[in-house]
Chain A
Amino acid sequence: MSDTWVILGASSAVARAFAREAASHGAALVLAGRDMEDLEHQAADLAIRYGVPAMPLRFEARDLATHAGFVAECRRRAGDGLLNVFLAFGVMPDQAAADADPEVAAGMVEANFTGAASVLGALAPVLEAQRGGTVVALGSVAGDRGRKRNFLYGATKAALLVYLQGYAARLSGAGVRVLCIKAGPVDTGMTWALPKLPFMASPRGFAAAAWQRAGKGGGSAYLPGIWWPVMTIIRLLPTPIFNKLNI
């Protein structure tokens, strides 16, 4: 029985590319998300291109009550194989919209953090029981330091990172690897309409790098790698200077 990757937020361009990457290595896929029509199309694509089973499954990150049942269904679909997780869902409304409307702000926290913590929490016993497997989650360079432009989004990603640190510690005894990717800009629907961003990665290149990095073990990693020096400098900038920057 081959490994299964559960892709949470499978309609995301990054997630789609990662699913193809995993399928090209022979993994079965559970495509979890909300746009069922799209997930059906993706499942067909993966099955035809790579000859792997791919199954759409409804998943709503903000509907916490459904997470236990969702995880049970994932376990069932993975059969006897190892279950792995790629967590990609998330939203990034702009800071001004979140400032203006508490519903928007709360919705982002719920989707990016509360929902993530909830579904990962439900997955933990399953991962422990199988004694192995890999969890990869998409954090962001925005979580390294709160910037004027998007600090609420950044805060949700920082919270996710801290959650994953503890999660990794809890699961390390069971041999589960947990990797938090601090992603730089990726050329997806989330960034398409934004002003030009530096070091933009293609979803395909990003996914290939993420797959490779996941093979090397857990922890956290900047992708693309150029973000390590860049964020190191940004984190070290003295506050008075940082506050003057329009980033």
Chain B
Amino acid sequence: MPDTLAAPAATRPTGWKQVSLQGWGRSSLSPCLAARPERLRELHAALDAPEGRTLIAHGGGRSYGDAALNTDGAVVVTGRLDRILGFDPATGELVAEPGVTFADLLEVFLPRGFIAPVSPGTSHVTLGGALANDVHGKNHHHAGSFGEHVLWFDLLLPDGRMQRVSPESDPALFQATVGGIGLTGIVAALCLRLTRVPSNALAVSRRRVRNLDGFLAAFEAAAGATWSVGWIDALAGGASLGRGVLETAEPSEARVESRPPRARRFPVDAPGWLLNGLSVRAFNELYWRRVPAAGQQATVPYRQFLYPLDAIDGWNRMYGKQGFRQFQCVVPPGPGEAALRRLLETVAAGGNASFLAVLKVMGRDGPGMLSFGMPGYSLALDIPARPGSEAIFTQLERITRDSGGRIYLAKDSLLSAEGFAAMYPRAGEFRAVRERVDPQRRLSSDMARRIGL
């Protein structure tokens, strides 16, 4: 036998390929080199980016902006690392590789009576991406953010060491990595506690709300609900400013028949004129009218409630070639209420065709140094990328910042470095951890450079 066999079967050298990536909003193209490890050993090897380039992990690519982009640098695509490594039905504790998605969890564990404790609005998000943005769901006011349910993770540090990190073993590194937009290392595995549910469905109730004050009161009244979310018609102004539909939900004891999903695909980039004020206005109006004045109750499968947008694959192409941006902020109760009004007025006045905006109550601060969560109201809305549309973000950033709120990095592509510094008071602690684990700044991203990290 040739003696090359004696060497550890370090298979092929890492394949790097030139690609052009986009955030989910598709508002810009980012050329870079990409590796896609198929397994742990290849992940280790991929840390060695060619030509001394910086590196960032790229999960499901569901961040709207540039959190997972690294123009002229390198990215490590983690989607193929999708093995479920352990599950204990007694405790609900799951150990999984970072490329496992919420769709996987739903498929494998809902039939056994477990769901993810916290779930973003699309099931195509990976667990690694969920950790790195410390994502939240429609149950934030109860369950907090994703990172609160993570018991530990294995972090591949920039120097090649693998460290198991729990809130006890290394609190600073834990808190820097949860919500740390991939800048402390690459998560190679994580342990997450799933939540037990009685059936595959939830009991949902929907009702119309006339305006913003009505919404704030309705949320207050619905504080006991397990899940709650408000869909706002962001084009309605005047006395109807903030009108929309409030959805609340509880786990249902009764099952519903649920067919395996078959997503339709949005076929092409829509022409720019499709989303003009009129068509969006009509859609939003319909959405509002669909709910009878007396309200509506339904028992629906988790998938439908948690991931409504997943019914259309590639729906982001609806905004045409130029793409769109999302704005999401959280503002504190009190000053935040006036800020919400100003944010909605600014968008409505700009006539920026935005589909339904999402309003949510948030319950508490997240565990990460750069976690988005804080007590208050979160507002999210889409704005098509058109010449001049960036200006409106400057206004939205200003309003958010003045009210003591913050902008969500998972959705962001325009936040200024000063804005970031003002909104994320623990950024200094974060920098200190980064100095410890990545003194040479081998990890970086477009977002990191833009916001001054």
Contact = CB atoms under 8 A, between A and B. Distances in A.
B36 interface: yes
Interface in B84-111: 84-87, 97, 108
B97 A41 contact: yes
A34 interface: yes
A61 B38 CA distance: 20
B5 A189 contact: no
A49 B38 contact: no
Interface string B146-187: 000000000000000000000000000000000000000000
A45 B35 CA distance: 23
A11 interface: yes
Which of A13, A60, A62, A189 is packed against the most chain B CB atoms within 10 Å?
A: A189
A149 B189 CA distance: 39
A60 B5 contact: yes
Nearest to B13: A193
Contacts of B84: 44-45, 48-49
Nearest to A50: B108
B251 to A, nearest CB: 23
Interface residues of A, number: 23
Interface stretch (B39-47, B313-321, B351-359): B39-47
B83 A45 contact: yes
Contact of A192 (B36, B41, B83): B36
Contact of B38 (A62, A63, A107, A189): A189
Contacts of B108: 48-49
A107 B11 CA distance: 13
Contacts of B42: 189
A220 to B, nearest CB: 27
Interface string A191-207: 01100000000000000
Nearest to A110: B2
Nearest to B10: A35
B310 to A, nearest CB: 17
Nearest to A203: B80
Contacts of B16: 193
B86 A48 contact: yes
Interface in B1-38: 1-2, 4-5, 9, 11-12, 15-17, 35-36, 38
Interface of A: 11, 13, 16, 34-35, 37-38, 41-42, 44-45, 48-49, 60, 62-63, 91, 103, 107, 188-189, 192-193
